[in-house]
Structure 1
């Protein structure tokens, strides 16, 4: 046999249809084979004892014992053919039929001899079970349908393991006459032939008489059905990823997929009046990492609104959706705790002046308030402290491919949506928050997945469990602006942590939420990129997110998150979030990461020496011999003072410093807001143009002095707007306060 294999090799090459299976092994989507056949691979688990018993009795009763050829049947057939002078009996075993299906030839005695040789080869290389599988996968059923599984699905709408005796018998006789007994066009002839064979089974006592009687009276309802075509976006993705795999298994749960698709479609239909035409949803099981529902668009068959675009992989602007990762990174770096204070006031970051979504400012706010309310200015300040490359590295570790490509060009604006992300990447990131900071790849298909597989078995820690817990605590709050305004009337609020995002120009609305069991990512918008005035993460995407959680996992029995050992509680000053000092009379409780979070004494107020009338302040150098007292004054930052002055808000000011003092102060120099250091300014020669001079100074500063190229230009109050017409060339702009503290910037002025 080895010599025969070498001289006359036999290596079956079968082109199967690619079938995408759900978690329960049902067929979600099937593709034509390379030779345009519906030829679905049948697993051994799909071959029931009833199916095996019926087919073997009809086709090859001695299949289990012969070596590929039945000598008695061959002899009997040869004798009959010689006596009659024509072919009356074929004597083909199932093995020989497999050979004929693999290598079709003209029906001659020479071909029969070759079939016998090939059948013996097949038996030498494959088990009986494998050969029987070959037969079930290749047997013709009319048209371009081959194999028992394809016939079962396309004619009866069910998998092989659910076929009745009546249906199995009908399919068993079709291959002998695939044209005249084709199930969808020759149903009457098929019914008559089925009953003939059922009577034979009765005579042969293959089944109980009652079973045969039930099969005879069972109506034969055959309809040519369309091939399964669910989850089209994911199916095409997996087909491209595994082009030669006959079977690709996924973690898709059909019930959840159908629910998600229905919710998305109905929701988008309601939004079309607002010129919003699409949405995408990804549902991830946090315990296994399996994607249980994948909705790439509202309607795959809609060509007008880009239905075939996969919104789960489309690159879009994230808006504010990346802020949780930024704050979690800041927690891990020991820069922040939830109750620490950030100033939400107008701020210039070297020429970049971000605004909040509502174009308002809130003054001093806590970190948790800034995140829960998605404030932009505090987020940019935190990113400046964390440093952009650090956040970019975090996103690259998390698998954000577009961020990886854009890395060199990203700046502070990235935290407000100035980068590209996909719904898949965002959902995977939030699944890490749901799994104590561990990031693992999402499982789509091809590799069998265990239901008991835990997150700790794979992936890596992108943030600490403590930081993940702090983020979850903040994102669970419901007193926030991204809660839908009408949820009380239309939605039950599920217990989830969630974050929204709205991209610049209102082109993308995001809402990603999670609990212990699931992470769900939602995107709503138009694939054309057209912005819509009514589009927002809170009002457009979050209602759909809530509907999905309420439908799939309302009040999850998995419970909620517990505080990890790395997190503890401590008292902090309500005015700063720092450790209370002598000035702090209203301490509150705050979370902190033990050994990581900052531990500094509160300095929100300071002692100042003043005269009895509190009209002058003194430094240690100019203290009078008598007549002074010590008073506590707020230690405001220059930017907060500028905000109070801008809004005409009253605040406690330090009295002017003793004018007779000759000391020159070194710390706390004015911060020049305009012009921007190192910038180029273009001015027209025919139209005189001016540049704004603006600064922020300390609480005790009454006057500042502006210098242009070391020459005094103007004296003003710290909050007064000053304008100047700059000379061409390199210009030095200096600002000094009444304590002698000075700051310089340089600009380049060019004439047009």
Structure 2
């Protein structure tokens, strides 16, 4: 009730006041009516949407690297507020709208002055459009009529009520026409002067100020003399009005104008396209990348020059990715040797392409096995022929090395030890770890992958592999590479221990290894890095990925066609480029090398097994290990066995006589290694044949059938049939084995003897019994085919 009374009281006062001043009341009512009408019109006819701007990709310092046309095929780059330098702002406002910061979109004084001039001269000689009205016209182009002028005035007021003065000026400078499909000061600055707007000189600003008035007549590169004439006229007006000093004007007049239309920057094309596709969302006009432009340009040139020299060997392309290990930012991204090399499919992005990784995943597996306590660097692994349900991996040189240390197997990139370790670690856990490191294709194919994964039997990209190797440089922590300057590391995943990362780095740092490029050290400086090479099956892809404390660099060489290249190897063709890139970006790195972490310790181990030494061990070496994690089993390399006095018979505990025997130490050699020695005629001391009178039947250490493969299908030609080989591995004290086919005795053989049989079609059971009575059974399926 009180509020109603107060309102009535004030309304009565207004009526009394208005009755005394009828003209003022009329003016107020008129103004209020206009406001109401404007509100209604503003609601019915809202401002047109801003035009779409060209997407710009910039480097880490915000310098333009790449730009893309708008949907309407225009080069319309948005001029940012910070790019409107005081010089540019002053020149534009003085020329176009001196009172820009003082009116509400329409300048009544300018309108009156223009009307008087036009009436006195009988023609249109002067306009009264403000910068805001020009923006309205650029947003919604219309014919020049009095009616459209009123619409422009209405739109100008709308703009003033919606945007700040600086935002309106920004829109104006971003839409000015410069002929053809060039719009905006920024587009013109890059197209004509190859620079940002805030770097323009007074002479260049003046030239760009006069062109929009006559964009069809003043064409840069064709009518430069005419542009200079109008430019100098404007500069003289500035001098007359003392807007700039005489010295500034004189320097601008004397500055030559030799501009012509150029193309927009086309730098880092593969990454720019990737960012445009991945991050170029609607309404986003600029993406600032993490690229260091100087590093990018050097990398592009190095890759291009390097591949040019390899073309005669059939190698047409390469890709390279450089990651800053401290920030996880990608500072260089080269997708091909020459983006514009159409004959070599240069526009294919080799950094993103899914290819076979060869041996590049091995260091990661070895590190995981170290963390699981499966190996340490000096642990011995057997490099001999193996068969996993029909899958028999081979080394690159088709040879076997017998006993090798884990570090030697990795530095020499031996395949068989790697497959053995993956079999121990598990394919699924290994795939899961790679998925944690964002290996997209491997994650998709996880149910299809097997033991061949570690030899490159999977699909990865250079982006993924380079990011994976940065884990070693970051104490075992993985962070997704950053491509956008504004992004930050969201989360670092602890994939490896500091200890295993350090051990792998120590192994990969060694220069004395097979994958060191021939003659490199005698011709160029060797960078201090750890690195690993890889060559895919069929010699289609060559890889070399390295790191130090500052950078991780990944290199791929090959052909996008996937064609085989006889000379291709990661060591000989990818590693030299890797070294060149490191020498280019980090030539004299002052960073200290990786230090041994607290969770990594040193111990003495047996040099023949890599295990904790026993009393019989004489070859002692040092080895890294992880306390509590690494196994501490004592060396079991030797075994003390009772033998007869003549040394021809061995005894077990149950059959050992009370006297008439002696004990002797024998080196324990697995059946697989016995076979390896026998095939190469390498002498070794066998354990004598076990006491033939012993009645104890052993269940352990029975024969192992290596041929044929259990569960395999064999296809036998009916025209020219070939027999199937029978072979097994036995304990050291076994002399004879007995073969059975479908439970029927077939033949007696020596332990290392390979025999053959011609099978019938159908399922077949094969049994092997050693002279201790231990039996092993397998089953195969035989098919007869007409061929």
TM-score, length of structure 1 as denominator length: 0.97
Counterpart secondary structure, 2:767:
strand
Q: Are 1:361 and 2:394 matched, yes or no?
A: no
Q: How does 1:6-155 map to 2 (within 5 A)?
A: 6-155=43-192
The structural deviation recorded for 1:235 is 1.9
| Residue correspondence of structure 1 range 343-382 to structure 2 within 5 A | 343-382=382-421
Are residue 562 (structure 1) and residue 599 (structure 2) matched? no
Q: Residue 444 of structure 1 corresponds to which residue in structure 2?
A: 483
The yes-or-no answer on 1:403 pairing with 2:442 is yes
Number of the residue aligned with 2:426 = 387
State how far apart, in whole Å, the 2-side matches of 1:215 and 1:12 are: 38
1:468 maps to 501
1:482 equivalenced with 2:515 (yes/no): yes
Note if contact 2:389-2:711 (Cα within 8 Å) is conserved in structure 1.
no
Q: Say whether the 8 Å CA contact 2:352–2:461 is kept in structure 1.
A: yes
In the alignment, the residues of structure 1 paired with residue 275 and residue 251 of structure 2 have an alpha-carbon distance, to the nearest angstrom, of 42
- Do the aligned residues in 2 keep the contact of 1:515 with 1:556 (CA within 8 Å)? no
- Please list every run of 5 or more consecutive structure 1 residues that lacks an aligned counterpart in the other structure: none
- Alignment partner of 1:658 is 2:691: yes
CA distance in 2, matches of 1:60, 1:142: 22
Q: Is the 8 A contact 2:137 2:152 kept in 1?
A: yes
Cα offsets for 1:238-258 (capped at 9, x unmatched): 222215332111111111111
| Residue 154 (structure 1) shift | 0.8
Classify the secondary structure of the residue corresponding to 2:180.
coil
Superposition map of 1:120-269 within 5 A: 120-241=157-278, 242=280, 244=282, 245-269=284-308
Using the TM superposition, give the Cα deviation of residue 611 of structure 1 relative to its aligned residue in structure 2, in angstroms: 2.4
Q: What is the CA deviation profile of residues 200-252 of structure 1, one whole-angstrom value per residue up to 9, with x for unaligned ones?
A: 22222222222222212211221211121122222222222215332111111
Q: Is residue 458 of structure 2 the alignment partner of residue 458 of structure 1?
A: no
In the aligned structure 2, how far is the partner of 1:310 from the partner of 1:224?
29
Identify if the C-alpha distance between structure 1 residues 532 and 9 changes in structure 2 by more than 3 Å, giving closer, same or farther: same
The secondary structure found in structure 1 opposite 2:777 is strand
The answer to whether the aligner puts 1:709 opposite 2:742 as a matched pair is: yes
Structure 2 vs 1, CA of residues 669 and 178 (structure 1 numbering), >3 Å: closer, same or farther?
A: same
* Alignment partner of 1:571 is 2:610: no
SS at match of 1:77: helix
1:475-514 maps to which residues of 2 (within 5 A)?
475-514=508-547
Pairing of 1:411-422 with structure 2 (within 5 A): 411-422=450-461
Query: How many angstroms apart in 1 are the aligned matches of 2:566 and 2:523?
Result: 22
| Cα distance change of structure 1 residues 599 and 11 upon mapping to structure 2, 3 Å threshold | farther
- Equivalent-residue separation in structure 2 for 1:368 and 1:45 (angstroms): 56
Question: How many corresponding residue pairs?
Answer: 746
Task: State which of 641, 649, 652 in structure 2 corresponds to 1:619.
Answer: 652
Once the 2 structures are TM-superposed, how far is the Cα of residue 281 of structure 1 from its aligned partner? 0.9
* CA–CA distance in structure 2, aligned partners of residues 509 and 17 of structure 1: 38
Report if the CA contact (8 A) 2:322-2:552 is conserved.
yes
Q: Structure 2 unaligned runs (5+)?
A: 1-37
Distance 1:4 1:467, change over 3 A: farther
Cα contact 1:475–1:499 (8 A) shared by 2: yes
In 2, Cα distance between equivalents of 1:522 and 1:565: 32
Could you tell me whether the CA contact under 8 Å between 2:437 and 2:480 is conserved in 1? Answer: no
Shift of 1:274: 0.7
1:608-649 residue CA offsets vs partner (Å, 9 max, x unmatched)? 112233222111111112122222211111111110011111
Structure 2: distance between partners of 1:740 and 1:587: 39
* Maintained 8 Å contact 1:139/1:148: yes
Q: Is the 8 A contact 2:221 2:258 kept in 1?
A: no
> Residue 409 of structure 1 aligns to a residue in which SS?
coil
Q: Is the 8 A contact 2:48 2:140 kept in 1?
A: no
Range moving further from structure 2, 65-74 or 499-508: 65-74
Structure 1: distance between partners of 2:526 and 2:324: 20
Q: Is the 8 A contact 1:491 1:546 kept in 2?
A: no
Tell me by how many angstroms 1:499 deviates: 0.8
CA distance in 2, matches of 1:741, 1:84: 122
4+ runs deviating over 6 angstroms: none
**Cα deviation, residue 686, structure 1:** 4.4
